[in-house]
Structure 1
């Protein structure tokens, strides 16, 4: 059977991608950030997953108000980087895993999760930046990728509890696949940040750290946190962190924390990174 070998939670700050693309990683502002990522890069190089399932949100790139799926699964053979207004990022095209993706779709729908299935889609920084955080600048991504897009832009949003339950169902789907693939699930987005309005620039480090403690050790308590609290405490974009709950649901109740890193500011956001394995 396929095996989930671990989970990664990471912010997907677009400025991180720009820093990598323009060779700024060793500048004084960026050096502490990329030093904090190194343990995750070492782990991914050691474990060498065959597939990364990346839980991310589209930023009105592929989806907009004409079509806003709550959960969308990419089942295609490849996914090109999206042009977000300044040209596509100079990163490799993402290679999909249609056979596994369709298996996941069938399993999740049988478990009462209604998905939007997408055969052709582009992927923006929400997906490509996490790959760069883990793999830097390869000529070809070392893993294949299944995109799992979650709506955290247009209200009503799914709850943290629903995302956690989706993760549990996703684990069932992966582990029922009759192949020895090694899979890593990556939850992206957050932590606290707000990009507009009177609270633009909000960072709530104390709340972020408490949330991370609970996320790792008591995920059921995080699943109880409502969207309103996340918006109030972490800003309009901080609510993206509910996508980490899909990853957390794929793992056991008790996990080993292999790496945890938190840094502010990264651009105008709080950056968080964790690497988890089952005990």
Structure 2
């Protein structure tokens, strides 16, 4: 049967994609940002760690969805998804190849497990999904893994609670375990960390809060389930709420985990960059 072997969380700062696409990763500003991903790039290339499929949890930034359609949880089940034009042309990255049989299995299992997933067969995917892939795999001609996109609304309120995201992760774990094919599956949570892009608090970064969040992903994840939305807003800025998507990843791993790698850097653009690799216990 399929197995869920590891979870990865990472920020998906659009400037990181720009730096990769324009060959600027070795410049003084960007070098410490990307240095924190070198361990993971080496680790994920090893045969025993390389996933067959990644369930990639991300949020759309008004590329596929807008105020006319706001799914709380959406799963991509089509064969292929292309990079979105976010106003300056699509990123020069390969199309996303899905595993449709596995994606449809996830959709069916999650819906029967009482999660009302929106099924998407055609959409473009923006930096929320493509930047994490670039951070882990660089600039390949084709992505070396299949990717199931799982989009979460963290843009327009009401957004799901951390506890609901955690429970979705638990349901994903059950769905993976019930898939009969032999697949090595990873789940990635993306977004965050603390940042605010507008208003009088634009540029807010709360390093203490971010580091505590990273600590508790490994050591005390139950605390994270109960963080109210207002705390994310107050302590991490308006966009810090993206971190609830990391709880889908952590909920899928369940129980005790082994922390294999951690990276935290300030700033990338006006954002704190966080990255962690957890192995299922």
Partner of 1:192: 194
- What secondary structure is seen at the aligned counterpart in 2 of 1:271? strand
Structure 1 vs Structure 2 CA RMSD: 0.6
1:247 equivalent to 2:249? Answer yes
Q: Which contiguous aligned blocks of 4+ residues in structure 1 show a shift greater than 6 angstroms?
A: none
Query: Could you tell me the TM-score, scaled by structure 2's length?
Result: 0.98
Correspondence for 1:61: 63
Q: Deviations over 1:178-202 (max 9, x none)?
A: 0001111000000000000000000
Of 145, 170, 193, which residue of structure 2 is paired with 1:143? 145
Alignment correspondent of 2:8: 8
**Which residue number corresponds to residue 25 of structure 2?**
25
**More divergent stretch after superposition (40-49 vs 197-206):** 40-49
Distance (Å, rounded) in 1 between the aligned partners of 2:183 and 2:162: 28
CA distance in 2, matches of 1:180, 1:160: 31
**What secondary structure, in the 3-state scheme, does the structure 2 residue paired with 1:170 have?**
helix
Q: Which residue of 2 aligns with 1:51?
A: 53
Q: Within 2, Cα distance between the matches of 1:44 and 1:17?
A: 19
Matched residue, 2:271: 269
Are 1:219 and 1:253, in contact at CA under 8 Å, matched by a contact in 2? no
Q: Distance in 2 between matches of 1:190 and 1:86?
A: 23
Aligned partner of 2:102 in structure 1 is 100
Q: Name the counterpart of 1:278.
A: 280
- Give the Cα–Cα distance (whole angstroms) in 2 for the partners of residues 126 and 7 of structure 1: 17
Q: Distance in 1 between matches of 2:255 and 2:223?
A: 12
Residue 252 of structure 1 and its aligned partner are, at CA, apart by 2.9
Q: Counterpart of 1:207?
A: 209
Q: 1:212: how far off?
A: 1.2
What is the Cα deviation at residue 173 of structure 1? 0.3
Query: Mind listing any 5+ residue stretches in structure 1 that lack a counterpart?
Result: none
Q: Secondary structure at the match of 2:264?
A: strand
Distance in 1 separating the partners of 2:280 and 2:137: 22
Deviation at 1:211, TM superposition (A): 1.2
The TM-score normalised by the length of structure 1 is 0.99
| Matches of 2:44 and 2:19, distance apart in 1 | 21
Whether the aligned pair in 2 keeps the contact of 1:73 and 1:148 (CA below 8 Å) is yes
Aligned-residue offset at 1:40 = 1.1
Cα pair 2:4 2:280 within 8 Å, conserved = no
